[in-house]
Amino acid sequence: MVIGAVYGPNEDNGCKIFFELLRQNLNRWRGIPIILGGDWNPTYSNMAVRDNPDVLFMQSIPSRIRSDLLLDLCGDLDLSDPFRILNPEVREFSYIPSGVIRKNRSRIDFF
């Protein structure tokens, strides 16, 4: 079994390299159960904001590029987010900005 913690890039610059290196390393253990959790930084869903259960009070998702790269990685390596599998439409958020002015919410921390 592979167990790991992820801290994903919070900018699009260089994110393709991050996901490619992660893919290369995980491919070494293909066929072995993999559990990865952490602060991935993109949302697991790349749906439009109005339909996206991972964001609230946003004009767009945090990064469509990073969400697409994450979903490609998950598809290629048969990875899934257990919470989202069990709760496909539940609105739950792991990122809530400090202060009272900003109301945006997102779910960027997951397994």
3 state DSSP class of 24: helix
Alpha-carbon distance 107 to 92, whole Å?
A: 7
For range 86-98, the mean pLDDT: 92
Q: Are 73 and 40 in contact (CB under 8 A)?
A: no
13 pLDDT more than 90: yes
| CATH of segment(s) 2-110 | 3.60.10.10
The whole-number pLDDT of residue 101 equals 87
The whole-number pLDDT of residue 100 equals 81
Domain boundaries, the chain: 2-110
